[in-house]
Amino acid sequence: MSNVVCSLDEIEPGTARKVVVDGQAVALVRIGDDVYAIDDVCSHANVSLSDGEVWTDTCMLECPKHGSSFSLTTGEPDTLPATRPVAVHSARVEDGMVIVGVTS
Ligand code: FES
């Protein structure tokens, strides 16, 4: 099921914010006018990825705790200590609103 979560204007380009969709914490990331959605909880420990740095050039979100960066398109981490991917969810912009569909 898809949900309107916020307007695109509410997310600064190059930043992430946490939203809860269908009870699932999701890190929503804006790069330019594109949005990406991955699980907010790091696969290594219970840390909110949306508090981390967005790498716009590589389309990744870095965990603020230990520095593993997760691909916004595959959910795979690029470095240790995280070894498992996080889930990737669908995200799109329609009429200036961000719509997210959570994959369970
Ligand atoms: S908690 Fe995210 S890499 Fe350790």
Q: How far apart are CA 71 and CA 48, in angstroms?
A: 15
If you measure from the C-alpha of residue 87 to the centroid of ligand 1, how many angstroms do you get, rounded to a whole number? 15
92 lies in which domain range?
A: 2-101
Residues in the chain, pLDDT under 50: none
Query: What is the structure's pLDDT at 104?
Result: 66
If you measure from the C-alpha of residue 62 to the centroid of ligand 1, how many angstroms do you get, rounded to a whole number? 9
What is the SS3 assignment for 80? coil
Query: What is the structure's pLDDT at 2?
Result: 81
Give the CATH number of the domain where residue 86 resides: 2.102.10.10
The single-letter code of the amino acid at 70 is F
Q: How far apart are CA 41 and CA 1, in angstroms?
A: 21
Query: What is the structure's pLDDT at 59?
Result: 98
Torsions phi, psi of 50, nearest 5? -70, -10
If you measure from the C-alpha of residue 54 to the centroid of ligand 1, how many angstroms do you get, rounded to a whole number? 15
Rounded to two decimals, what is the model's pTM?
Answer: 0.95
Number of folded domains that form the chain:
1
Query: What is the structure's pLDDT at 10?
Result: 95
Query: Which atom of ligand 1 lies at the shortest distance from residue 42's CA?
Result: 2
